[in-house]
Structure 1
Amino acid sequence: MSELITIEVNGKAYDVRPGQMLIEATDNLGIEVPRFCYHKHLSIAANCRMCLVEVEKMGKPLPACATPVAAGMKVWTQSEKAVDAQQAMMEFLLINHPLDCPICDQGGECELQDQAMTYGKVQSRYQEVKRVVLDPDIGPLIETEMTRCIQCTRCVRFGTEIAGIRELGGIGRGDRMAITTYVEQALQSELSGNIIDVCPVGALTAKPSRYTARAWEMIAHATVAAHDSVGSNIEVHTFDNKIVRVVPRENDTINQCWISDRDRFSYEGLNSSERVLKPLIKRDGEWQTVSWQEALAHTHELLTQLKPEQSTGLASANATLEELYLFQKVLQGLGVSQIEHRLRQVDAQATQVLPAVTWLGLPIEQISEQKLIILIGSDVRHEQPMLNHRIHLAQRLGAQVFALNMRQVAFNYPVEQLAVAPAQLSSLLQSVISGLSEQGLALPNDGSTLELIQRHDTQNWVQGLLAALAQAQGKVLVLLGNSAQEHPYYADLATLAQLLAQQLSGHLGFIPPQANSVGADWVTTLAPQDEVGKAVELNSELDTVVLLNVEPEYDTANPYLTLSRLRQAKQVIAITSFMSPALRDYATVILPCTPWAETSGTYVNAEGTWQFARAVTEPKGEARPAWKILRVIGHQLSVPECEYVNIEQISFELRRLVDKHPLTPPTIQPVTTLRISNESGLERIGEVQAYRVDNVVRRASALQALVPETKAHIHPNTATHLALMPDTLVTVRQGEASLSLPVWWDESLPENTVWIAGGTEASAQLGEAWGRIELRAGGKT
C-alpha cells in the first residue's frame, strides 16, 4: 500500500492517499465541496465547474474533481476566491433553468435546489428570455423535462460506462446544447432507470410515479429486491401505505449504487387488478368468496384425504426462505415427497450429479476481479442484470469474456461468442475441451464433434481462449447460466463445464435463476436423505397439487403438459397472490398470500448471503403472509413443531439447521456417459423473457410495455428453405400444443432453430422450452 501524503485543507493538515482526486479526499475527510457532474462511479468530466476551490500558487480556482492531490498542497474550499467562483457558476447554471420547483418531482431532494440555497445569489443579473428544450419520448420508464437539464452529462457517461450502451448524447454547442437520444428512440438498457438517480436536477424522473407524492411525504423502507438472484439492496418509498417508487440502497459488495429496471419498476404489479384479496373455494364450477376459517377448514379436509404417492408440491423460488421451509415441512408431514422449486429444470439426471446447492461459487464482488470469464448457456445481461454489470466491470478492467450459447446474445461489452443449436451445445463444449488439450476426457465422437472441432470459428475461439488464459493469472471463472440449467442435457453440460474449469485452473459457478434459488436448494438439503433429488412426476393420475406462488403457464418448462395435468388432478390448492385465467380454470381452493414487499422473510442470494427483508406495506384485503397460512395448516394437520409465534422463530431455526450444511465450492459428480442427440428437424429456443420472470413483474404495466410481440424467430436461411417471409403467419406445433405466430428473420440464431421467448401469454400455449418444434405456413389471425 502506498504511503500517505500530507495536504492542508482550510488550514488543517490531513493525511490522504496519493493519486486520488481532491474531491475524493475531501469527501473522505467529511469536508463539503459542491458538485453536479462528479459521481464516484463515473469518469471525470469537470464540465459543471461547481467544485472550484482555491489552491495555493494557482492563479485561478481549480476543479476539485479533476485536480489530483499532491504532497504539501494547500487548499481552501470556503475562501473568498472559492466562494466567488462557486457563486458565479451557480448563477451561470441558473440562467436557463425554469422556476418550476413547485411541480417538479425532484423538488425536496434536488441537488440544484440544495446548492442554490447555499451558493446562489439573491438576485440574478441575467434578464434575457430563458431557452426552452423539447422533451424527447425515451420510453415508458423515464419522463424527460430537458429544459431543466444543466448538461452535467452524468446520464451520458452512465450509459457508456455502466450500462454499456451509448444511447444518450449531447447535440449542439454552447447555449444550444441538449441531451437526447441519437435517433429519437426509447432507451433499451436494462439499467436505464439509474439515470434518474444520477441526474442532479429534475430533467429525468420516473414516469410511472410522476406527480404521485412529494419527497418529504414519503417514508423510506430498507429492503431487498426479489426478482433475480443478486438480491440488490433497495429503498422502497411509500405514501399512504402504497409503494410509489423504488431506489437503490448502496452496498458495494452486492449492487454498488445501481439497480435494474426490473427491480425499480416491478412494484406496479402489486396493485394489479388480478390481486386475490379474499379466500376462494370452487363449488359446482363457480368461485365463491369465503371466510378464512371456512377456507382453512376446507383445505384441511382436502389435505387429510390426499394420496401422498400421487400428490406433489410446486413452489416458486422467489418465495422467502421461511415460506419454502414451511411448505416443505407441511407436505412432508403428510407423506408427500415430490416437492420441487426447479420448475424449468427438465434433466432428471442433473439432480443426481449436481451439488446439493448450486451457487455462484465466489462472492459477487470478486467477479470484477476475474481476468477470464466463460459463460455457458447464459443471456446474463437480461437474466441477471447486476451480475452482468460485474462482468462488464471486469471487462473494463481488462478481463476477456467468452460465451457458448444457443443463439448470438446481445451483450453490452465485447464478447467472443459461439452459438449452436441446443442439441449441439454439449458437442460444441466437447470440441472446445478437445481443442484445448489432446489429453483429458475420452469424448464420444459421432462425427458432429469432429465437425465442430474443425470449424474455423471454433478453432479461432479456442485460440483466443488460450491467448486469454496466458494473461489470466489464474483468475478464471466458468459460469453455467439459466439456459444451460434448463437444457435437456444439463448434467452433461455441468460435467463438461467442470472439466473445462479444471483444465483452465479456474472456478466453476452457477448463476441461480431466481431470488431464492440458493435458499430453496438449501431447504431441500434439510429433507430426509432418501427424498433429496426425487424428481416430480406430473402424470395423469395426480391426486392433489399444492402451489406456492406458482403460475404454471409461465413458470414451468412445459406449460401445455403441466396445465393439462393440473386440469386432470383431483384437487389443486393454490397459495397465491394473483388470480390468472388458467388458475381460475383448474384450482379448487385459492388462499390469498402477500407478495414481495408485503411480507417479511429471508432471501439467500447467488453468493449465499442471507438478507432479511421486512414488509414495507400492510397486506391488501384479507391476504396473509404465506408462512402464516402454512403455519396454521401445519397446526391443523398436527405437523410436529409447527407452533411458530413470529417469523424470527422460523429464521432462527433455519439458520441453526442450515449451519450444519455450509456452502462448499460447487463440485459435479461426472456423468458416466455423455448423451448425443441424433434427432433432426427444427429445435426450439425458449429462454424466459426478461420482464416475464415472476408474477409481480408480469403485472407491472410500464415494464410490460417493453415486452416485444411474441414471434417465431428463425434464421434467414431456414426461412428461405421453408419459404417463409417476415411477418408471414405460421402454425407452431409441439405435439398436441399449437398456436399461430408471425415469422421474424433473425441472424443471431443458428440454422434450424426457432426462438420463441418463454413466459409470455403466447408461449404459455406451447410445450417444451427446449425441444422439437414444427412450423407450417398459414395460421389463424
Structure 2
Amino acid sequence: MTDTVHLSIDGMEVEVAPGTLIIRAAERAGVRIPRFCDHPLLAPSANCRQCLVEVAMPGRDGVVRPMPKPQPACAMTVTDGMEVATQATSEVAAKAQAGTMEFLLINHPLDCPVCDKGGECPLQNQALELMASGAQSATRFTDVKRAFPKPLRLTSNVLLDRDRCILCQRCVRFADQVAGDPFIALQGRGAGHVGGEITPGLYSEQIGRFDASVLDFHDPHHDEDRRTIRGEAGLLASEELAGPGGEPGVLDGYASAAAPGAGEELDVSGRPFASYFSGNIIQICPVGALTSARYRFRARPMDLVSTDSVTEHDASGSALRVDMRRGVVLRRLAGEDPEVNEEWITDKDRFAFTWSSQADRLTVPLVRDEEGQLVPTSWSDALDVAATGLAEAAERGVGLLPGARLTLEDAWAWSRFARTVLGTNDIDQRVRDHSPEEDTFLAARVAGTGLGRVTYRSLEQAGQVLLVALEPEDECGSLFLRLRKAVQAGGAEVATVTAAATFGSRKLGATTVLTAPGQEARAVALLSRTHPGIVEGLSRPGATILVGERAAAVPGLLSVVDALATATGARLAWVPRRAGERGGIEAGALPFLLPGGRPVADDRARAEVARSWRAGTGQLNANRPLPERPGRDTTAILTALADGELGGLVIGGVDLRDFPDPGLARTALASSAFTVQLEVRRTEVSEHADVVLPVAPPVEKNGTFVNWEGRVRPFGQAHVSRARTDRQVLGALAAEMGTDLESEDLAVLHAQIAELGLWSGARGPVAFTEQEAQAGQDQGETGTAPVGLAAALATHKPMLDDGRLQDGEPFLAATALRPVARVAADLAERLALDPGQEVEVATDTGTITLPAAIGGVADGVVWLPECSPGSTVRQTLGAGHGSPVRISLPAPTSTEVSL
C-alpha cells in the first residue's frame, strides 16, 4: 500500500495521504468547495449535499470514466488516478450545487436582517455567491413556506428556530460523537409520527429534543394526563415554547423511559440534563437555527469587536474569542487551537462571563473609617493606609492568601511582594485541601517542569489512561473531550479510581475502580492484584496517569500514585481545577517554593532569585536576604491569625466556602489585626477587611495563564478599563512601602521570568509522614451526628455549581445538574429509601437535605455536590471528602391543627 495518493482537482495535481476525503484534498490544493454538514472534527455524513462534485475514476481496465452522478466531496475518499472537477470547472457540479441550494432555500425564511447568524452565515454567503455568479437565479417556489412555532427551548441556554434548520445534523453529530450526550436528535425521519401512526408528508424531519409526540415512543394516552397535571389546557410537549429570551416556564418534552438519559439526571429546571457542552452546537450551526438565549437579538457581527482570550474557569487553557459591543461583552465563542481545545469549549466557558459586571463590582478603593464602615476613598489614601497598617502588622508577621485564579504575572507580583516587601514565605494560593505530602509532590513532579510529555495530543495515543481523584468532565472539560476522542478512535482505554461512578466515566467507557472515600490510596496500591490489566497497560509506552488536585485530601494517595508511575514507567500529570493554579506554582505563590520551582530552603535557589530581583532598579527591602525557612500553608496561616501569632493578612480573590475549614477562615478574618483585600467584587471577606483595593478581572487585562500541561497561554485585553491589575496594585503598594516591585512594565517582568528560567537543581522525593497518616485516621473518628446510619462522605464539585464566577447567568444556572445525594444501595435498603425521596446527611455541625439517587457509590457511602445550591458541604457540614456523616429520612411534618 502506497504512502500517498495522486489525483487531480480542477486540473491540478495533488498528492495526499490515503483515506483523505476529497473535500480535504481540495483544501490542501487551495480549492474551496461549498459545504454545510461537513466539519473537520466530525465524522462524514453527506447530509446537506452542497459539496457535490464531478468525479472520474480509473476502472479495472485503467480507463478513467466519470461516475454517473455527482458525488459528495465530504464523504468520498481519494484514490489513485481520480479526477475531480469542482463547481469552478464543471457545469455538472455547479448545476448540482445550485439545485441543492434552491431546495434548501425553498422553505428557509428570508429573515437575515433579524437573524443572529446574519453577517456570518455560511448559507447566506454561499447563496449570495451563487446568485452573483449566475448559477443561482431567483427562486421558482411560489407556495407558502413551511413554518413552525418558535423558538423551542432545547436547554435554558440554547433555543431552536426550526424554520431555519437545513438538517445538516452537525448538532446531532456533535452531541453523539464529541460530547457523548444524546440530548438532541433528528426526529420523524421519513414521516411524522402521531399516535403511533405514520402521517406522510414532506419535511416531516425535525431537529429537537427527545420529543414524545414526534418519536416512536409517543403514547397519546399521556397527553390528557399531562394537560391535567400541568393545567396547560391542550399545550402538548411538542408545542411548548420559550420566550424570546429563553425565559423558563415551558418544557419541550417529558421524561420517558424510552428517551436516552431520561429518569436518570435532571437539571435545575426539572428537565432531562442536556450537556456541559451544548453551546458548541450554536457555534457550529451553519445557519441561524440554534441561538443563545442571552445573545439572541442583541447584535450583528459587524457591531462586534473581537479579542482572542483564554478561559478563566478551569485549568484547560481553552482558547476563547470575546465579542464586545459598546464596552459590553455580549458573547464568547470557542477559539480554534488544535493543540488544546480544538474548536470546543464548555458551556461555563461560553456563557459565564457576566460575573465581573455585577452590582457589587468594586470600582474605587474602600477604607474602614473610625465607625467601622467601609467608605470610598482615593488610591493615594488607600495605599497610604494599607502601607502603614502592613508595616505595623509585619512586626508579628503577615500572611498572604492570593487565591488560585491569578495570571502568571499577577502571581509573580504576589510572590515577590511577600518575599521582598514583607519578608515572609507565609504565602499560599491553595484555597482547597492541601498537605505536606502534596508539598513534596508539587515540588518533585510539577513545579518548574514546563510543558511536559503529557499533553492533549499525547493522550490520543496513550493506550492506557488512569484517572485518580479526577473527574475530567466536571473539572477540566477540554481534557474530557480529548479523552473521549481518544477512546472513540481506539487510541486509549480509560480507568478511574473514584468514590462515585459518574456519567462522564460511562461516556469514556472507563473501567471504574469504585472505592470508599479516603481509601483511594489502598485501591491504587492493590491495582496489580485487583486489576492487573490496568497495571499492565500502564507499563506500555505512552501510558499516562492523571491525578487531580483532590488527591491531597487522601493521605498517602499522591505517594502511591508516584510509586505506581515510577514502577510502571507511566507518564504522570497533575490536573488542578483553577485557571491560575499552575501559573501560581511557577511564580512561587507557595510557602515552600520560589519562582521556577526553586525550593525555598535551597541556598542556590534563593541566590538565583535574589540575584534576578536585584538585577534591575528594584532592591530587596533594606537589602534584606530572602527568608530561608518554608512558610506556613493556608491552614497554618489561618490558625496563626486566629491565635494572634500573625499580625495581618493580604488576601486575594477567594471564596470562604472553598476553604477546607470555612469556620476557621471566618475566625481568622475576624481575629486579624489588619487585613488588605484585592478583589474584583465585594465579598464576605470585605466585611472583615480594613482596606479593599479593586483589581481587574481577566476580561479587562492582558496576561498569561499556564494550563495543566504546563503550556503558556497568553491572552489579550478585551475591554478597555481603568481597573488596575493585581501586579499594578501590589507594585503601587510596594512603592508606598519603599520597594520597587518592577511589576508595572510587562516587558521587564517577562524578561525577568525568562532569564530566571526553571529550576535545574535536585528535587526531593514524594514523602508521606506518619503524622499525616494519623491525621487521616483522626478524621474518620470525629465529627459525627448523634442519629442516623453511619456513612462515609464523598464529594467533589460539579462543573456548574454555586460558584461566584457563574453569578448573573440564570440561563446557565438552570442547566446545571440538580443537586442530589447519591446513596449506596445498602444504605438505601436499610432506610427503605426510594429514588427521589429526600434524605438528610448530617454531622454535629449541620444538615443537608437533598433528593436521593440510589447507587453509583461504594457500600456505606453517600456522595454530595461540594458547593451547589442547598449543598455547601464544607460550610454546612464542616466536613470534607472521607469524613464520617449520618444519613436519615427527614422527620415527618405534622399536619395536625390545634383548635
- TM-score in terms of structure 2 length: 0.78
SS state of the match for residue 108, structure 1? coil
Residue 584 of structure 1: how far off its partner (Å): 4.1
Which letter does structure 1 place at the counterpart of 2:732? V
Is contact 1:268–1:701 with CA below 8 Å preserved after alignment? Answer: no
List aligned pairs for 1:208-223, cutoff 5 A: 208-223=294-309
Deviation, 1:222, is: 1.2
Q: Does 1:688 pair with 2:801?
A: no
1:706 aligned to 2:815? yes
Q: CA deviation at 1:688?
A: 2.1
How far residue 428 of structure 1 moved from its aligned partner, in angstroms, is: 1.7
Question: Cα deviations across residues 374-428 of structure 1 (Å, max 9, x unaligned)?
Answer: 1111111111010111111111122211111011122222111022221222222
**Which consecutive residues of structure 2, in runs of 5 or more, have no partner in the other structure?**
57-65, 191-201, 212-252, 254-270, 602-627, 782-789, 894-899
* Conserved 8 A contact 1:477-1:507: yes
Instruction: State the shift of 1:692 in Å.
Output: 4.0
1:481 correspondence with 2:578: no
8 Å Cα contact 2:363/2:694 also seen in 1: yes
Instruction: Look up the equivalent residue of 1:479 and give its one-letter code.
Output: L
1:67 is aligned to 76
* Change beyond 3 A, Cα 1:52–1:745: closer
Give the Cα–Cα distance (whole angstroms) in 1 for the partners of residues 43 and 792 of structure 2. 45
Structure 1 pair 104/346, CA: closer, same or farther in 2 (3 Å)? Answer: same
Secondary structure at the aligned position of 1:37 is classed as coil
Q: Deviations over 1:501-523 (max 9, x none)?
A: 23433112211222122211111
1:144-159 → structure 2 map (5 Å cutoff): 144-159=160-175
Letter of the structure 2 residue corresponding to residue 379 of structure 1: E
Matched residues in 1 for 2:860 and 2:345: separation?
A: 37
Distance of 2:737 and 2:674 partners within structure 1: 18
User: Which residue identity is paired with 1:404?
Assistant: V
User: Is the contact made by 2:794 and 2:863 (CA closer than 8 Å) also made in structure 1?
Assistant: yes
- Alpha carbons 2:470, 2:550 under 8 Å: kept: yes
Quote the residue 1:494 is aligned against. 558
- Counterparts of 2:765 and 2:499 in 1: how far apart (Å)? 23
Select 1:565's aligned residue among 623, 643, 668.
668
2:513 paired residue among 371, 394, 418 = 418
Aligned with 2:437 (options 349, 357, 372): 349
**1:612 alignment partner, SS class:** strand
Question: How far off is 1:685 after superposition?
Answer: 2.2
Match of 1:607 among 685, 700, 709: 709
What aligned pairs does 1:445-524 form with structure 2 within 5 A after superposition?
Answer: 459=530, 462-465=531-534, 468=537, 473-485=540-552, 487-489=553-555, 492-524=556-588
How far does residue 128 in structure 1 lie from its aligned partner after superposition?
Answer: 2.2
Q: Is 1:190 matched up with 2:283? A: no
Q: Does 1:86 align with 2:102?
A: no
Residue 130 (structure 2) aligns with: 119
The corresponding residue for 1:595 is 697
Cα distance change, pair 86–119 in 1 and its aligned pair in 2 (3 A): same
CA contact (8 A) 2:418 2:425 kept: yes
Secondary structure (helix, strand or coil) at the match of 1:696 reads helix
1:741, CA displacement in angstroms?
2.4
Question: Would the aligned equivalents of 1:133 and 1:178 in 2 still touch at CA under 8 Å?
Answer: no
Q: CA deviation at 1:577?
A: 0.5
Partner in structure 1 of residue 259 of structure 2: none
Q: Which residue of 1 aligns with 2:380?
A: 293
- Quick one: structure 1 residues 158 and 777, their matched pair in 2 at CA, closer, same or farther if it must change by over 3 Å? closer
Matched, 1:669 2:759: no
Shift of the 696–252 alpha-carbon distance from structure 1 to 2, 3 Å rule, reads: same
Query: Measured at CA, do residues 517 and 645 of structure 1 come closer, stay the same or move farther in structure 2, by a change above 3 Å?
Result: closer
The alpha-carbon distance between structure 1 residues 63 and 630, as it changes in their structure 2 partners (threshold 3 A), is: same
What secondary structure is seen at the aligned counterpart in 2 of 1:70? coil
What residue number does 1:552 align with?
656
1:214 partner amino acid: R
Q: Note the C-alpha offset of 1:47.
A: 1.6
Q: Does 1:7 align with 2:7?
A: yes
Contact 2:540 2:570 in 1 (8 A): no
2:489 matched to 1:397?
Answer: yes
Identity, in percent, stands at 27
Relative to structure 1, the CA distance from residue 218 to residue 127 in structure 2 (aligned partners, 3 Å threshold; closer, same or farther) is: same
8 A Cα contact 1:730 1:778, kept in partner: yes
Aligned counterpart, 1:441: none
Cα distance, 1:148–1:308 mapped onto 2, change above 3 Å: farther
Q: What letter corresponds to residue 277 of structure 1 in structure 2?
A: T
Q: Aligned partners of 1:15, 1:730: CA distance in 2, in Å? A: 65
Q: Deviation string for 1:671-716 (max 9, x for gaps)?
A: 3669376546433223123134864334433332233454544334
Task: Please point out which of 404, 425, 431 is paired with 1:337.
Answer: 425
Kept after mapping to 2: 8 A contact 1:498/1:668: no
Residue identity matched to 1:502 = T
**C-alpha separation in 1, matches of 2:540 and 2:676:** 54
Q: Secondary structure at the match of 1:597?
A: helix
Equivalent residue number for residue 279 of structure 1? 365
Q: CA deviation at 1:12?
A: 2.6
Q: Are 2:746 and 1:647 aligned?
A: yes
Residue number in structure 2 paired with 1:136: 152
1:101-147 deviation per Cα after TM superposition (whole angstroms, max 9, x unaligned): 11110000011100111225232112222222344322122121111
Partners of 1:163 and 1:189 within 8 A in 2: yes
Match of 1:440 in 2: none
Larger of the two Rg values belongs to structure: 2
RMSD over aligned Cα, in angstroms?
2.7
Q: What is the distance in 2 between the residues matched to 1:245 and 1:161?
A: 25
- CA distance in structure 2 between the aligned counterparts of 1:337 and 1:702, rounded to whole angstroms: 43
What does 1:622-771 correspond to in 2, within 5 Å?
Answer: 623-639=723-739, 641-657=740-756, 659-661=757-759, 668-671=765-768, 675=773, 679=780, 681-692=790-801, 695-708=804-817, 710-721=819-830, 732-735=841-844, 737-760=845-868, 762-763=871-872, 764-770=875-881, 771=883
Residue 367 of structure 1 corresponds to 459
Q: Secondary structure at the match of 2:67?
A: coil
The equivalent residue for 2:116 is 105
Q: Retained in 1: the 8 A contact 2:802–2:868?
A: no
Q: Are residues 551 and 216 of structure 1, via their aligned partners in 2, closer, same or farther at CA, if it must alter by over 3 Å?
A: same
1: CA distance, partners of 2:49 / 2:584: 51
Displacement of 1:590 after TM fit? 1.3
- Alpha-carbon distance change, 468 to 705 in structure 1, aligned in 2, over 3 angstroms: same
Residues 222 and 339 (structure 1), Cα distance of their counterparts in 2 relative to 1, 3 Å cut: same
What is the distance in 1 between the residues matched to 2:663 and 2:815? Answer: 25
* Counterpart for residue 786 of structure 2: none
How has the CA–CA distance of structure 1 residues 17 and 353 changed in structure 2, closer, same or farther, with 3 Å as cutoff?
Answer: closer
For 1:222-273, what per-residue CA distance to the aligned partner results, in whole angstroms no more than 9, with x for missing partners?
1211211121111111110111111122111111111111111121222222
Whether the aligned pair in 2 keeps the contact of 1:714 and 1:743 (CA below 8 Å) is no
Q: For 1:339, give the aligned amino acid.
A: I
Q: CA deviation at 1:756?
A: 2.6
Structure 2 SS opposite 1:65:
coil
Q: Is the 8 A contact 2:164 2:289 kept in 1?
A: yes
Determine helix, strand or coil for the equivalent of 1:683. strand
Cα drift, residue 429 of structure 1:
1.8
Contact 1:50 1:86 in 2 (8 A): yes
Amino acid at match of 1:767: G
Equivalents in 2 of 1:531, 1:701: separation in Å? 47
Structure 1 contact 691–698 (Cα < 8 Å) conserved: no
1:663 CA displacement? 11
Asked if 1:526 corresponds to 2:594, the answer is yes
Q: Distance in 1 between matches of 2:272 and 2:163?
A: 19
| Amino acid paired to 1:408 | A
Tell me, yes or no, if the aligned pair for 1:495 and 1:668 is still in contact at 8 Å: no
Q: Is the 8 A contact 2:705 2:714 kept in 1?
A: yes
Q: Which moved more, 1:748-757 or 1:97-106?
A: 748-757
Output the amino acid matched with 1:124. T
Corresponding letter in the other structure for 2:305: I
TM-score w.r.t. the length of structure 1 is: 0.89
Aligned partners of 1:745, 1:73: CA distance in 2, in Å?
58
Select 1:381's aligned residue among 473, 480, 484.
473
CA distance in 1, matches of 2:18, 2:160: 40
Q: Aligned in 2, Cα 1:228/1:16: closer, same or farther, shift over 3 Å?
A: same
